[in-house]
Amino acid sequence: MPIDGLATQLRKGVIEYCVLAMLKEMPRYGGEVIQMLRARGELVVSEGTIYPLLSRMRSEGLVETEWRDTPGGAPRRYYRLSRSGQKAVAQFRDEWFRFRDSVDNIFRNGARQ
């Protein structure tokens, strides 16, 4: 597998949960989520893909939306975590830490076992 294909595959599996996790503290609008992802480096290549992702998460009931006015600007659609979205984040968190520990363990100690 080419190495950039590998990065794409890895991103695909986690990006949805990263976005959900970003909505945990407070509702955010799409552009805000994108800025946060951008500030955290390599998580997203095509920023526009966050919008269909949010739309899909809404139809799956993981997030809810509401329009909010912005002073001196156009209204923004804010995304808020639903109850099932909160559950999904918690589940992913547990799963991720286990998964990450296993992979770390193999890469750090694998050769010595």
- Nearer to other proteins by Cβ, of 14 and 106: the residue is 14
**Nearest approach, Cβ of residue 63 and other proteins (Å):** 13
**Nearest approach, Cβ of residue 19 and other proteins (Å):** 12
- Nearer to other proteins by Cβ, of 59 and 113: the residue is 59
CA 100 to chain centre: 16
Question: Does the CA dihedral 34-38-39-42 come out positive or negative?
Answer: positive
Q: What single-letter DSSP state applies at residue 44?
A: -
**Nearest approach, Cβ of residue 15 and other proteins (Å):** 9
**Nearest approach, Cβ of residue 11 and other proteins (Å):** 11
What is the residue-wise DSSP string for 50-113? Answer: HHHHHHHHHHTTSEEEEEEEETTEEEEEEEEE-HHHHHHHHHHHHHHHHHHHHHHHHHHHGGG-
- Nearer to other proteins by Cβ, of 76 and 86: the residue is 76
Mapped onto helix, strand or coil, the DSSP state of residue 19 is helix
Q: Which residues would be at the binding site for other proteins (CB under 8 A)?
A: 30-31, 34, 45-49, 51-56, 59, 73-74, 76-77
